[in-house]
Structure 1
Amino acid sequence: MTTSYHDYKQDFYHAFRAGIFAGVGYNVQSNKEHGEGRSDIVIINEYEGKVAVLR
């Protein structure tokens, strides 16, 4: 799980969702800067080659 300095302003619910997905083995990026903006949570399933972006 990777985090950003933006995580310090997030509430408990955001950290809970990121923790759930990281706990079951997904690669989770939280508040990662992408291009001109940032997504809340990016969940990557490297085994199946799938990605989910939560904003």
Structure 2
Amino acid sequence: MTTELTNLPCGTVQVKVCMNHICELGWVSSHHLVPPKEAQLKKSIRDHSEAS
């Protein structure tokens, strides 16, 4: 599983989590919000994988 962070010009942080060619994107307003968003995206990928 990989996590990529991209700082956007507006100050927003884009969080991209990928596992087994499945990726989820999320955005947060500050770096201190990255860990909970990353956990949320990982859970979404796991739920999607289990449902398939």
Tell me if TM exceeds 0.5. no
Which has more strand, going by share of residues? 2
Which structure has the larger Rg over C-alpha atoms? 2
- Calculate the TM-score normalised by the size of structure 2: 0.30
Which has more helix, going by share of residues? 2
- Calculate the TM-score normalised by the size of structure 1: 0.29
